[in-house]
Chain A
Amino acid sequence: MTPKADFYSGIGIAVFSAVFFILSGTYPASEQGLGPGGFPKIVTGTMFCLGVLLSINSFINMKRGMKDIVKLNGKDMLQVLILAAAFLAYIVVIKYLGYVISTPLFLFLFLYLYGDRKWLRMVLVSIIGTAVTFVLFKYLFQIYLPEFYFF
């Protein structure tokens, strides 16, 4: 149970749905059928009701003294965001450095973020993981993988 988080997420869902409901109203009306905005209006209208319902429900639970069991741990979230940023950097870098150079660097960084400190294993996993996937995808599946392209 996460009544406090549900209360706020319910409000968030209601606001989000309201914005998209208004946006749906900007599409031209149709003489026949629902028109381009009709279906999104039904969907966002329902989502708005669900968001409000979720907030009311969790508000009642909060009043009954129910507390959040699952909480977002700041350290965990930071780790997730760092990994996501590292992955985003990998996606950008791979275009220039190519798969073969950027992938072992990313895998090594990933293992470090994951808490591994066995350096030999980290190096081996990074190199072997890259080599195996490169051969598998490039030669067996015949998929183009980004190559070194710096100049």
Chain B
Amino acid sequence: MQDILMGLVDTFQPMTILVMFIGIIGGIIIGAIPGMSGSMGIILLLPLIYRLDTIPSMVVLAAMFCGSMYGGSVSAILLRTPGTPSASATVVDGYPMAQNGQAGKALATACIASAFGGLVSGICLLFIAPQLAKVALSFQAPEFFALAIFGLTLMASSSSASTIKGLVSGFFGLLLSTVGVDLISGNMRFTFNSIKLMGGFNILPVLVGIFAFAQVFLDLSKKDEDTVVQKTGSLRSMLPNRKEMKAILLPMIVGSVIGVSIGIIPGTGGAIACFLAYEVAKRFSRHPEKYGTGYVEGIAAPEAANNGTTGGAFVPLLTLGIPGDTVTAVMLGAFMLVGIRPGPQLFTEASHEVYTFFMAFIIMQFVMLIFGLGGTKLWSKVLNAPRVVLMPLILLFCFLGAFTLSNSTGDAVIALIFGLLGYFMQKFGYPGAPMILGLILGPMAEQNLNRALLISHGDWSVFLTRPISLAFILVTIASIVYSVVSANRKKKHPKGASK
């Protein structure tokens, strides 16, 4: 309790509040632009977080994540194009509402539901994460190795239509993590006599390349399309009335619970949660026939769900060091850059920082509500910004982010190489997130595999005789089998898959 109170007090430090504002506003803008996601926003923040202390840097990253989740609904409602995959279900009722002249109300409902979902997930994060961390403290080398493989395969099997491609990407990341000096034997691996490769691949240039440069390259072939942005109306006319507030309460609760639950499962994310919440809320609704026609409930459920995943995704990220989705995979890399090592030890070594972060996470939902509602007209203007102006500036920020790392252009060259790799990977359906995760989890997997084999004198059955390790391995196998079976089912029944 003392940690929570101290965390609350520290949340109101001017710098923490300032970066929270920056993160939320930046997140809404980034999320609102179709094709941009929270991952890109986090990468753009990297030059900033170098200059910040631990708590503000964690807060600005989380604020960017939460803001981008709501931001995705802006273009979903006004353009019929979800800004992020997590806002896909919001289109179904959001755009018809906008066409009916209720764009402002749709945006306000999305904002209220997003803040509600985020708040519920923040409270869950506050109470679930420390308990899970306590359990994780009992993990030893076999469990950590099994956990790393579990996280990697879950991400690999869920982030692409092809499980094989996801796994190839993840294992390529693991291979990249072995480049440089082997920490156990001191041998050089895959350096090809290059001094620059001796230190291995730094996560930042790889992140910048795979997620930001590749996006800029992909965007080259797109032209600015003539967009018809629906009008939002005045703030007073936007806010849902008492009857509407009552109607959206249950969908918001349903969405939040689903969002948190889905978010906690590594390798999932807002895109799955929003559709599931939409379907479940429709079943619970008194007026299921109104869903899809421009109904506030149809916005409230998915928006509460996608923001519900944010706090949920932080549970495995902070307690086990396993990200819940692509954005948290990028965030894990960013955390490590500023010296934060997520995992069970974080709760004992940096409990003050962790609890301040939890409290800030809760407070930022209110900040998002204020900025989200207050700036509705401004966010709709963002959609009119020409991409031709945005893209070079994004590329410039990416260069500066990579340059900042070591004040040398060498990392910018690595970012460029990975940008080209990311471009071709995306073109051919190889997801980038498992590769990043493989690069991050590689050292953890290798060191713990070595340790486990040393303890067991080379007996590989050590992974099967320990219950937690065995459970992770079984779930890993089950997730691969499930994704292969469901992919085959989608091939046979493409109509069902499109839902």
| B396 at interface by CB-CB < 8 Å | yes
A residues less than 8 Å from B388 (CB atoms): 111, 114-116
| B397 at interface by CB-CB < 8 Å | yes
Tell me the complex Cα distance, A102–B445, Å: 43
| B427 at interface by CB-CB < 8 Å | yes
A residues less than 8 Å from B187 (CB atoms): 27-28, 36
| Contact indicator per residue, chain B 172-196, by CB within 8 Å of chain A (1) or not (0) | 1011001000101101011000000
Check B413–A88 contact: CB distance below 8 A.
yes
Tell me the complex Cα distance, A110–B190, Å: 35
Select from chain B the residue with minimum beta-carbon distance to A79: B220
Check B419–A47 contact: CB distance below 8 A.
no
Check B396–A103 contact: CB distance below 8 A.
yes
Tell me the complex Cα distance, A150–B95, Å: 56
In angstroms, how far is the closest chain A Cβ from the Cβ of B57? 13
| B453 at interface by CB-CB < 8 Å | yes
Check A54–B168 contact: CB distance below 8 A.
yes
- List B residues 136-190 near A (Cβ within 8 Å): 162, 164-165, 167-168, 171-172, 174-175, 178, 182, 184-185, 187, 189-190
- List A residues 85-103 near B (Cβ within 8 Å): 87-88, 90-92, 94-95, 103
| B288 at interface by CB-CB < 8 Å | no
B residues less than 8 Å from A80 (CB atoms): 217, 220, 420, 423
A residues less than 8 Å from B412 (CB atoms): 91
| B429 at interface by CB-CB < 8 Å | yes
Check A84–B220 contact: CB distance below 8 A.
no
The one of B175, B216, B395, B399 in contact with A47, judged by C-beta atoms closer than 8 angstroms, is: B175
Tell me the complex Cα distance, A125–B185, Å: 52
Known: A33-B184, A76-B221, A141-B51. A110 touches B428 (CB 8 A): no
The one of B168, B216, B403, B416 in contact with A51, judged by C-beta atoms closer than 8 angstroms, is: B168
Check B420–A84 contact: CB distance below 8 A.
yes
| A83 at interface by CB-CB < 8 Å | yes
- List A residues 51-87 near B (Cβ within 8 Å): 51, 53-54, 57, 70, 72-73, 76, 79-80, 83-84, 87
Check A36–B427 contact: CB distance below 8 A.
no
Check B416–A6 contact: CB distance below 8 A.
no
Check B404–A143 contact: CB distance below 8 A.
yes
The one of B216, B217, B409 in contact with A95, judged by C-beta atoms closer than 8 angstroms, is: B409
Check A70–B429 contact: CB distance below 8 A.
yes
In angstroms, how far is the closest chain B Cβ from the Cβ of A104? 10
Check A113–B220 contact: CB distance below 8 A.
yes
In angstroms, how far is the closest chain A Cβ from the Cβ of B470? 19
In angstroms, how far is the closest chain B Cβ from the Cβ of A62? 14
The one of B51, B175, B184, B220 in contact with A36, judged by C-beta atoms closer than 8 angstroms, is: B184
Check B221–A13 contact: CB distance below 8 A.
no
Check A20–B167 contact: CB distance below 8 A.
no
| A18 at interface by CB-CB < 8 Å | no
B residues less than 8 Å from A107 (CB atoms): 392, 396
Check B427–A32 contact: CB distance below 8 A.
no
Select from chain B the residue with minimum beta-carbon distance to A46: B171
Q: Is the interface of B mostly helix, strand, loop or mixed?
A: helix
Check A114–B391 contact: CB distance below 8 A.
yes
Check B428–A9 contact: CB distance below 8 A.
yes
Tell me the complex Cα distance, A88–B162, Å: 33
Tell me the complex Cα distance, A122–B184, Å: 53
Tell me the complex Cα distance, A103–B392, Å: 10
| Contact indicator per residue, chain B 449-461, by CB within 8 Å of chain A (1) or not (0) | 1110110000000
Interface centre among A39, A40, A44, A142 (most CB of B within 10 A): A39
Known: A54-B165, A76-B220, A83-B220. A110 touches B449 (CB 8 A): no
Tell me the complex Cα distance, A90–B484, Å: 45
Known: A114-B392, A129-B393, A137-B400. A57 touches B47 (CB 8 A): no
Tell me the complex Cα distance, A46–B400, Å: 37
Tell me the complex Cα distance, A57–B487, Å: 13
In angstroms, how far is the closest chain A Cβ from the Cβ of B105? 35
| B236 at interface by CB-CB < 8 Å | no
Known: A35-B185, A50-B168. A83 touches B217 (CB 8 A): yes
Check A121–B389 contact: CB distance below 8 A.
yes
Tell me the complex Cα distance, A72–B221, Å: 11
- List A residues 101-142 near B (Cβ within 8 Å): 103, 107, 110-111, 113-116, 121, 125, 129, 133, 137, 141-142
Check B185–A50 contact: CB distance below 8 A.
no
In angstroms, how far is the closest chain B Cβ from the Cβ of A13? 6
Select from chain A the residue with minimum beta-carbon distance to B398: A87
In angstroms, how far is the closest chain B Cβ from the Cβ of A5? 5
Known: A70-B427, A91-B413. A125 touches B190 (CB 8 A): no
| B279 at interface by CB-CB < 8 Å | no
Check A72–B427 contact: CB distance below 8 A.
yes
| B366 at interface by CB-CB < 8 Å | no
| B223 at interface by CB-CB < 8 Å | yes
Q: A133-B393, A143-B407 are in contact. List 13 more A-B contacts (CB 8 A).
A: A30-B185, A34-B449, A36-B185, A36-B187, A44-B175, A50-B171, A79-B220, A80-B220, A95-B409, A111-B388, A113-B220, A125-B393, A141-B50
List A residues at the B interface (Cβ < 8 Å): 2, 5-6, 9, 13, 20, 23-24, 27-28, 30, 32-40, 43-44, 46-47, 50-51, 53-54, 57, 70, 72-73, 76, 79-80, 83-84, 87-88, 90-92, 94-95, 103, 107, 110-111, 113-116, 121, 125, 129, 133, 137, 141-146
Would you give 18 A-B contacts (Cβ < 8 Å), ordered by A?
A27-B182, A28-B187, A30-B185, A36-B187, A36-B189, A37-B189, A43-B174, A43-B175, A50-B168, A51-B168, A80-B423, A88-B416, A91-B412, A110-B392, A125-B392, A125-B393, A133-B393, A133-B396
The 10 closest A-B pairs by CB, nearest first: A36-B187, A76-B221, A33-B450, A36-B182, A110-B392, A39-B446, A36-B185, A91-B409, A80-B217, A116-B388
